[in-house]
Structure formats: structure tokens, C-alpha cells
Amino acid sequence: MSLQEQIQNDLRQAQKEKNEAVVCTLRMLLAALKNAEIAKMREALSEDEVQKLIKTEIKKRKEAIEDYKRGGRDDLANKEAEEVKILEKYQLRQLSEDDIKRIVQKVIAEVKPAGAKDPSAVLRASFGRVMGQAMKEAAGKADGGLVGKLVKEEMEKI
């Protein structure tokens, strides 16, 4: 069963159970998937494309949570947080921080980037090479912000 079919089945189940939060979130997700299919002019998306879209939707909600909290709207932030939890059920298992750190250390050993004492242009180029390779290694199983933070920390040790 494809991920899209699983989402459809879960939507039907949530409708039977009258779980409004899940129904609204899954309808939104299915609409986003349909819009992506239309944009790509295809009947169905690949599993990777579905995963990328889910990751994008989660990221949107996390940004909205921060905005709502800054605006003092905890009620809306909580609603977005609930949607994130629902969407995360369909995401691939994410790597732990330790797993990501091991990947970053391996990439740094392979790439041999310039150290933090080098001029800023060289450092930025090295950071970009390490970051790009680390994100390839993580293959969508890690948050880019966390990877960036760990790359920065590890490059400072050089």
C-alpha cells in the first residue's frame, strides 16, 4: 500500500471516529498532494515526492508555531503543534542527533574542509561542501537546521 493510500485510509477511519483534528489535517495534506500532482502533470507522486511534501508541510507548521508564540497566540500554536504530530506519523523515521553528528564527522573527514581560522569566503565554501554532502548522506531523514547547527559546531573544532 502506498503512503497516499495509507493517508486516504486513515482519513476514512478518522471520519468514522469523528476525529476532527485528524480529518482536517489529512484533508489538507491530500489537497497539497493533489496540487503537487497537478503541478507536475502526473497521476501520482513517487514515495520520495510524498515524503518531501510532508516534510515541507511540517516545516510550515513549525514556523507558524514560532510566529503564533511570538504573537501571544498559544491556542493557534497548540493547534499547529497537534497537526505536526499527525503529519509526523507519515514521515520516515528521523535520524537522532548522535546519528547526524556521526554523519557530519564522517563527511568532514572525507571533505577535509578549511578550518574556522581561514578567511570567511573559504570557510563558507567549505561549510557548503560539508553541508551538501551531509544532507545527501542523511537522505531526507534529518532536519536541515539541525544538520547545519551540527556542521557549524564540528567545523569550529577544526
Using a pLDDT cut of 70, give the percent of the chain over it.
Answer: 91
Residues 34 and 109 in one domain: no
Give just the sign of the alpha carbon dihedral 25, 7, 62, 28: negative
Provide the pLDDT confidence category of residue 113 given band limits of 50, 70 and 90: low
Per-residue pLDDT tens over the stretch 20-70: 999 999 999 999 999 999 999 988 888 888 988 998 999 999 999 999 999
Does residue 78 share a domain with residue 9? yes
3-state SS assignment for residue 42? coil
**Count: domains in the chain:** 2
Looking at the structure, do residues 83 and 101 belong to the same domain, yes or no? no
One domain, residues 17 and 44: yes
Which has more confidence, 118 or 67? 67
**Angstrom distance (rounded) from CA 86 to CA 23:** 10
Q: What is the CATH number of the domain that holds 142?
A: 1.10.10
Instruction: Tell me: do 82 and 11 sit in the same domain.
Output: yes
Domain enclosing residue 73, as ranges: 3-88
Q: pLDDT at residue 122 above 70? A: no
